[in-house]
Amino acid sequence: MKTLLCCFAFLMLCLFPAVGQQKFDTFRDNFVSGYNQLKLPQLELSYVTGLEHIGTTAQIEQQDAFFKGIKTQLSNYKVDQLSPSQKTDYALITYECRLNLERIALEQEWAKHRPEKISTEGIITIPNGKAWYAYWLKRWVSADVTPNEIYKFGLAEVQRVQQNIEAVRKQTGLDEDTFYKHLNDPEFFESDPKKVQEAFEHNKTIIYSNLPKLFNNAQIHELTIKAGESKQLAQTPGYYDNNTFYYNLFDKPYNKRMYDWLFIHEGVPGHHYQSSIENNTRISAVQQLFYYMGFAEGWGAYTEELGKQLGVYQTPYAELGKWEWDIVRSVRVPLDVGLNYYGWTDEQALAFWKKNIRNQDDIAPREIARIRRWPAQVVTYKYGALQILHWREELQQKEGKKFNIRDFHSRVLDHGSLPLFLVKQNVFK
């Protein structure tokens, strides 16, 4: 291993000569080259798979030398002397160095006591599990947050969404028990798959016609709508992949209250719109290395707030569909911290679910199991969405009548995938 480290140290010297002999662009290009040589695995949904992909001790030490070398080189540059694009790359490299060095420290400990078999009972059951969760939370959310902060955030969101559901109930004029009983009436469910497809196609037409009200760029790639095909994602309401919005039928009558919000989130102006803008955005080689889920899923969830302006949510029950899934997302947040950091049992998690969500007990076991398998992933939707919503509200208060929502959305999207702190900088420039 000493030979390998010596060779790598020599490579570092070749890649990063004295600062007086190179410009920032050269440093940036060398970072991209060196990062690619490390062949780091992608972020995995499953914590078990992620741990299985941890490299050998020699590979971990190689990564450690690389990122520490980068960190040292970064200190040689004065940020105020860089161009705007260089400043973005500098911030990204700094951010990734910090997160990767945190990961490497955890992997170094893991390599010393690598278990023969990784526990599938939850991340909290593995060695140093709480520290691993705290790291993965930052990585998934794309922000410097702590489990305790996210737990409190989740509780506040549960309360906020419950208030919105109650406001919709009051619009219907029904008492609470009658309201929730009515939600299971056959009128809200569709058994004909062709009619489900037609409903989504209809929403597509309506929403596309209203895009110019909210977005400067309404020219996007063609979107295909299909019933879901992925077994891995069969338990989600829907998903987006390669210019296609997939909705899952679950082999039972389809809940019509999902038509509006689900198309917005996965299709337009959610993930498909975001992807179309990103594909037409020129980004640096550094930025091409990374993709930030807190921003991606946060944007998808944020766009659900725009339903009425896009011509949908035309009845209280259509709007309720958005809040019905939002309460699931909100409850997931404290559940995620509870199960993966505080050590809650499944029974505690189920009790928390039933206390805060009505009429959706059937999906609770699968959601709890998902949270155990995929720690921190579910937090991305709510946290990212609320940051964008708060930025919009802050700008509206500051700018008053001068506020332009189309320009706001451009500021959020037109710089590609970034950690949330950099998105915020672009919004408030």
Task: Give the domain extent around 79.
Answer: 2-118
Tell whether 104 and 167 lie within a shared domain: no
What pLDDT score was predicted for residue 218?
83
Compute the radius of gyration of the chain from its Cα atoms.
Answer: 23
Tell whether 96 and 160 lie within a shared domain: no
What pLDDT score was predicted for residue 250?
78
Does residue 139 form part of some domain?
A: no
Does residue 124 form part of some domain?
A: no
Tell whether 176 and 285 lie within a shared domain: yes
Tell whether 319 and 391 lie within a shared domain: yes
Does residue 157 form part of some domain?
A: yes
| Omega of the bond leading into 84 within 30 degrees of 0 (cis) | no
Q: What are phi and psi of 330, to 5 degrees?
A: -70, -45
Tell whether 235 and 324 lie within a shared domain: yes
Does residue 166 form part of some domain?
A: yes
DSSP 247: E
Instruction: Give me the number of domains the chain comprises.
Output: 2
Q: Name 308's Cβ contacts closer than 8 Å, sequence gap at least 6.
A: 319
Tell whether 21 and 59 lie within a shared domain: yes
- How far is residue 128's CA from residue 141's CA, in Å, rounded to a whole number? 20
Tell whether 70 and 179 lie within a shared domain: no
Tell whether 199 and 335 lie within a shared domain: yes
What pLDDT score was predicted for residue 1?
52
Does residue 136 form part of some domain?
A: no
Which domain-ending residue is among 78, 100, 118? 118
Does residue 278 form part of some domain?
A: yes
Tell whether 151 and 105 lie within a shared domain: no
- How far is residue 217's CA from residue 280's CA, in Å, rounded to a whole number? 11
Prediction pTM value? 0.92
* Beta bridge partners of residue 226, listed in sequence order: 246
pLDDT (tens digit, 0 to 9) for every residue of the chain, 429 residues total? 545 554 454 455 444 443 433 489 999 999 999 999 999 999 999 999 999 999 999 999 999 999 999 999 999 999 999 999 999 999 999 999 999 999 999 999 999 989 999 999 999 999 999 999 999 999 999 999 999 999 999 999 999 999 999 999 999 999 999 999 999 999 999 999 999 999 999 999 999 999 999 999 988 889 999 999 887 777 789 999 999 999 999 778 999 999 999 999 999 999 999 999 999 999 999 999 999 999 999 999 999 999 999 999 999 999 999 999 999 999 999 999 999 999 999 999 999 999 999 999 999 999 999 999 999 999 999 999 999 999 999 999 999 999 999 999 999 999 999 999 999 999 998
Does residue 261 form part of some domain?
A: yes
What pLDDT score was predicted for residue 12?
53
Q: Are 344 and 154 in contact (CB under 8 A)?
A: no
Tell whether 265 and 397 lie within a shared domain: yes
Tell whether 71 and 153 lie within a shared domain: no
Contacts 24+ apart (CB under 8 A), 60-63: 60/104, 60/107, 60/108, 60/111, 61/1, 61/4, 61/5, 62/4, 62/5, 62/8, 62/38, 63/38, 63/100, 63/104
Tell whether 103 and 155 lie within a shared domain: no
Does residue 123 form part of some domain?
A: no
